[in-house]
Homo-oligomer: A and B are copies of this chain.
């Protein structure tokens, strides 16, 4: 359904992931738009590494009967093992990050809604093959402050998501702390930091374009285009 038009990067650091952990409900306006409850603490789920779609690897496949939603998210790629991390230690959190990527947490929204209603796991709704398009790896130096960048996503050139990571409810040190108190994060693991408001459906033929602006300037490596 969707096609990457950008060149293929060597994505060694993305393919190294032993797991992908994603924060849910980390932007207030996105919680409101889905009528969800605001979490008192970060909660998270996994996407399988088999869901990664590298630049140039082809379209996102929409499974039959699925209402397919996009969620643009900043992804952290870790450079070291993180365990029982202290949320107060902002510097150590940034030190644990090796690089970044832009990602789209594709979600089978109807499947997820059904799972929520029945108290079932989210793994099917989040885990189909191709459900995690990622950009090229973004070098750490390109993002001096991950809490102060703009994420955007457009569908057929209409901007649907466009917000600053300043709006995160739980910031990166807290996220890494909470995850790593449950599961040890390994070097190479990927953490998705949640999506701002504006999520919505895409259908075959739609073109998603996503990117990051730092101080108003477009980051070349973050550009993601999927048709």
Q: Is the CB of B184 within 8 A of A44?
A: no
State the number of copies, please. 2
Q: Is A11 an interface position by the 8 A CB rule?
A: no
Q: Is A221 an interface position by the 8 A CB rule?
A: no
Chain B residues with Cβ below 8 Å from A122 are 121-123
CB nearest neighbor in B for A44: B123
| Known pairs A128-B183, A182-B127, A182-B128; A46 contacts B48 (CB<8 A) | yes
Subset of 21 A-B contacts with CB under 8 Å? A18-B18, A18-B48, A18-B50, A19-B19, A19-B50, A21-B48, A24-B120, A44-B121, A45-B123, A46-B48, A46-B123, A48-B183, A50-B186, A115-B119, A117-B119, A119-B119, A121-B121, A122-B123, A128-B182, A128-B183, A129-B183
A interface residues, Cβ below 8 angstroms from B: 18-19, 21, 24, 37, 43-46, 48-51, 63, 83, 115-124, 127-129, 182-186
